[in-house]
A and B are shown apart, each in its own frame.
Chain A
Amino acid sequence: MSVPDVRSWIDRFAELVHAERDRLTELDAAVGDADHGSNLDRGMKAAAAAAGELGDAAPGELLKKVGMTLVSTVGGASGPLYGTLFLRMGASLGEATDVDGPAFAAALRAGLVGVAARGKAEVGDKTLLDALTPAVDELDAVLAEGASLSEALGRASTAADAGRDATEPLVARKGRASYLGERSAGHQDPGATSVALLVAAAAQTL
């Protein structure tokens, strides 16, 4: 994949977040502070614009720019988490101009590791990791079978959706939702929901 592909991915994610903005905010209202949709929508609009202005930079540079823009515009916990995801992906890709499937998967894995460290969370804590981790695992597994990146991302997206749905019965152990204790069960996690959109956008564009 090259820069135009990465740019389409970012644009598509921004579109999906915008379309699901109210739904994300509604999910956040149940367990958090009702701003996930509006904050991420604002941030992704800015990030897509910044990516558009970058000209013919390498994919890694573009992802770093997206990460920096999200950190500066989203706020709350989502800003540092999504920012770290893209910054680490960018660092992993370095200056490579053409990125193949394994390089993309390695970058996404680096992003995942960065997010887990930033949030000090693990799978099962009812966070975006619950959707991102199975997606990255599935991506690696399907690529290892020799499938194309496009096919692997399709299956990763299915895994992300399943991970997102599985957050509903969980009791939150991180973030503002954790203050609700048992009362956080029965609500789908907003972060896992938005990260499933990120993987879906990748499956649709890369």
Chain B
Amino acid sequence: MKKIINDPDTVVADALLGIEEAYPQLRVDHENKVVYRGDERRPGKVGLVSGGGSGHEPLHGGFVGLGMLDAACAGEVFTSPVPDQMIAATKLVDDGAGVLQIVKNYTGDVMNFEMAAEMAAAETGVEVVSVVTDDDVAVQDSTFTAGRRGVGVTVLLEKIVGAAAEEGRDLAAVAELARKVNGNGRSMGLALTSCTVPAAGKPTFEIGEDEMELGVGIHGEPGRERVPMASAKEMAQLLVEPVLADLPFGSGDGVIAFVNGLGGTPLLELYVLYHEVRSILDQHGIGVARSLVGNYITSLDMAGASVTLLKADDELVGLWDAPVSTPGLRWGA
């Protein structure tokens, strides 16, 4: 597998050098691999910290900035960051109003953030609250597993909750809003190809030219089933119907509709998929209040896409429209 890297062992550190140089408004703590805001501090603002394994860019470092995250911890590729990193991030963003950790539901991430919250509180006295995203409907029997994985909703949550923190809402209110967003969002993805982790140098899983993995995870975790390759119209059905059935969404609901590329699928194809998703939502009488199409929570070079629907009331839509200025999302600012 051909990759634009110098050395698989330094790929995350090398990318952080590029991120710092490309975005002068951001700062990078290279020792702790933390990307944080370089603009003026806002005393009394709740700090938003997220992070996770690298390989999902622009998530999370590309969502640091006005109206979104205050800091993001970068783990090794597909490996959770360690508590030292989150403690460093917590100290960097604490402006006296406490810190909210946004954590995707993976065993390693949850445990490392949990330890970091305990240690940061003991060391600094900062109040730290965690909210875990778990929107992937592909994981069935979630009571008998590590639970549903955190995927596309994380992007929408970081935007919406970031706007609320920027407004000056307190820690309890911001955490409550984050739980509301997670509770009202559902996602499902599919892969046409595997990703290739730089250190491994070969595809994570084998898949035929005529197959796709339905319900794939963003680290190449297996999905619900291996199914024959299909048209965009059929793919939209396979992704949207389980999402709609799960919450459930119904006629008259308004949603933020998010079609996400997993890294190796052209935007051209994502627009084709978005149109098919939109047609299905129309048939169900579901209104699309806002939409987002692009590569925002990726799985390295995996070809494929995910669909996330968030049931959105006026509050969520208003916060979605608020100004944001990050490398990954930018409007109104």
Contact = CB atoms under 8 A, between A and B. Distances in A.
Interface in B65-105: 75-76, 78-84
A40 to B, nearest CB: 13
Interface in A74-118: 74-77, 79-81, 83-84, 118
B107 A83 contact: no
Given A76-B79, A77-B111, A179-B217, A174 B84 contact: no
Judged by DSSP, the binding face of A is helix
Contact of B222 (A35, A74, A84, A180): A180
A176 B80 contact: no
Closest 9 CB pairs of A and B: A178-B145, A80-B111, A76-B108, A77-B108, A77-B107, A175-B107, A178-B146, A179-B221, A75-B79
Nearest to B81: A75
A174 B145 CA distance: 5
B114 A176 contact: no
A172 to B, nearest CB: 8
A33 to B, nearest CB: 6
Interface string B130-160: 0000000001010011100100000000000
A75 B111 contact: no
B45 interface: no
Contacts of A35: 79
Nearest to B136: A179
B146 A181 contact: no
Contacts of A181: 141, 145
A73 interface: yes
B115 interface: yes
A33 B77 CA distance: 11
Given A176-B107, A178-B145, A181-B141, A72 B83 contact: yes
B111 A81 contact: yes
Interface string B196-215: 00001000000000000000
A45 to B, nearest CB: 16
B115 A71 contact: yes
B219 interface: yes
B222 A80 contact: no
Contacts of B184: none
A89 to B, nearest CB: 16
Given A39-B79, A75-B108, A76-B79, 20 more contacts: A33-B219, A71-B83, A71-B84, A72-B83, A75-B75, A75-B80, A77-B107, A80-B108, A80-B114, A119-B107, A173-B145, A174-B107, A174-B146, A175-B107, A176-B106, A176-B146, A178-B145, A180-B222, A181-B141, A183-B222
Contacts of A174: 107, 145-146
A190 to B, nearest CB: 13
A34 interface: yes
